[in-house]
Every structure is written in structure tokens, then in C-alpha cells.
């Protein structure tokens, strides 16, 4: 059920100089893994959509945010103090797993940057999920929350550093590898990456009905 109200900030968790997690009181909010919320400071008309990072059964609500140079919301949120109030509207959206496939399906999650947030929520929500993540990042330190994924299932595709799991973009990895045609694929992040990755996987025989995207412009 969609709600709108004030939620208290518990803490800001800094991951890099520009990326952080906001941990917020849940206030009983129920959501599906993959959904997002509309978030902003109390009494501030500027709000932005952020994918929910936490699992459905976690005690708190979490969002993963990258500070944008010209982004007023991301800058303001980073400087909040614990106890301050946030306006939260949601949950919103229909990006999520097919409940009938959670136990039996094979999933491929393709993300760029903080686009990994909904997949983090899905994996925390359903620990037995059969999944592989391709995480497109520039450098290894952008592998947010890598400790929350199994080493066999999480692949860092770094475009500017050679010491990660794969040197190159997620699309380079897709070109060089094969995927089972029954794989259910989810994409979140940069529009160009998503379009290229979806086209490549369709050419490899994965039906368009098994490709699901959440686009960040």
C-alpha cells in the first residue's frame, strides 16, 4: 500500500567520497523487492526517486545514493544528521521478481553503478535465489555491498581498472560469454547500457519476454 509521511533518519553510511547509504525508520512500510520510494528532506519541495536497497524483512529502510555534482537532493541528504526527518512516499513501481519463479528460476542481474540497489534488495529478501550479478563500475572501490553477495555470483566489470573480476564493461562480458536461454534477466542503471545489454542477450537467444528493465537517465 502506498503511503506518504515523515520518517526519521537513523544514520548516514558513507561508502566512498560520493556514495552513501541512508538508513531510515521503516515505520511499518511494506514493499516488494525492486520497488522505489520518493525521498526528500522535510518541507523541501525537491524530491527524487531512489530504489530501495534493504530487504523486505530488514528492520530499517535503506537507499543507496550517489552524490551528483549538480544534484540538489543528493547533496542535501548526505549532510543530514541522525534524527532529522525525511519525507518518504511509496513504495512505488512494478520492477520486481515473478513470485512463481523465485524458487525455480535462474536470474541474471545487470547493473551499472548504484543501479545495483534493487538487486541488493531482491537478494537480501530471497536468500535462496539462483542469480548472477554483472555490476558495471569504473573502479573496484565502487563495488558497493560486495560482501552481501556470494563470490561465485557477483562479478565486478570495471572499465578503468584491471584488478577487478573482469576488465571491461558489462556489455563486453555479455559479448564474450554464453547464457542459458531460460535465464530471466533484469537490468537497472544507465539507459545506453540497458539497451545494448538487452539487444545482445536477445541476439544470444534469450526471449524479450524474459528481459525486464528499470532505467536511470
Q: Residue 8 has what pLDDT?
A: 97
CATH 3.40.50.80 occupies which residues in the chain? 99-216
Pairing verdict, β 184-190 and 130-137: unpaired
* Mean pLDDT across 116-131: 97
Question: Residue 89: its pLDDT value, please?
Answer: 95
Residue 22: what pLDDT? 98
Question: Is the bond preceding 91 in cis, omega lying within 30 degrees of 0?
Answer: yes
Mean pLDDT of the 122-149 span: 95
The correct answer on CATH 3.40.50.80 for the domain covering 99-216 is: yes
What average pLDDT does the structure give for the chain?
94
Q: Is the predicted pLDDT of residue 217 greater than 60, yes or no?
A: no
Q: pLDDT category, 75, cuts 50, 70, 90? A: confident
CATH 2.40.30.10 residue window(s) in the chain: 3-92
Percentage of the chain surpassing pLDDT 90? 88
Q: What is the pLDDT of residue 47?
A: 92
**Mean local confidence (pLDDT), 78-82:** 93
Q: How far apart are CA 110 and CA 132, in angstroms?
A: 8
The CATH code of domain 3-92 reads 2.40.30.10
pLDDT at 27 over 90: yes
169 has pLDDT over 70: yes
Residue 71 pLDDT > 80? no
CB 116 within 8 A of CB 135: yes
* Mean pLDDT of the region 81-94: 96
Interval 39-61: pLDDT, tens: 999 988 899 999 999 999 999 99
Q: Average pLDDT, stretch 167-188?
A: 97
Contact 61, 33 (CB under 8 A): no
Amino acid at each position: 500500500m502506498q503511503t506518504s509521511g515523515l520518517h526519521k533518519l537513523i544514520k548516514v553510511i558513507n561508502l566512498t567520497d560520493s556514495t552513501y547509504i541512508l538508513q531510515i525508520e521503516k515505520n511499518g512500510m511494506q514493499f516488494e523487492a525492486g520497488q522505489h520510494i520518493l525521498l526528500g528532506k522535510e518541507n523541501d519541495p525537491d524530491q527524487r526517486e531512489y530504489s530501495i536497497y534493504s530487504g523486505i524483512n530488514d528492520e530499517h529502510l535503506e537507499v543507496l545514493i550517489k552524490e551528483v555534482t549538480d544534484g540538489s537532493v543528493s547533496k542535501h541528504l548526505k549532510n543530514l544528521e541522525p534524527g532529522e526527518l525525511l519525507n518518504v512516499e511509496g513504495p512505488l513501481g512494478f520492477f520486481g521478481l515473478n513470485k512463481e519463479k523465485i524458487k525455480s528460476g535462474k536470474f541474471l542481474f545487470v547493473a551499472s553503478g548504484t543501479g545495483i540497489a534493487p538487486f541488493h534488495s531482491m537478494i537480501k529478501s530471497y536468500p535462496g535465489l539462483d542469480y548472477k550479478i554483472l555490476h558495471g563500475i569504473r573502479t573496484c572501490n565502487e563495488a558497493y555491498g560486495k560482501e552481501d553477495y556470494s563470490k561465485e555470483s557477483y562479478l565486478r566489470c570495471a572499465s578503468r581498472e584491471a584488478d577487478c573480476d573482469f576488465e571491461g564493461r558489462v556489455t563486453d562480458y555479455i559479448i564474450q560469454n554464453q547464457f542459458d536461454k531460460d535465464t530471466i534477466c533484469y537490468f537497472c542503471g544507465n539507459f545506453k547500457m540497458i539497451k545494448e545489454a538487452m539487444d545482445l542477450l536477445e541476439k544470444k537467444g534469450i526471449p524479450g519476454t524474459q528481459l525486464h528493465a528499470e532505467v536511470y537517465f
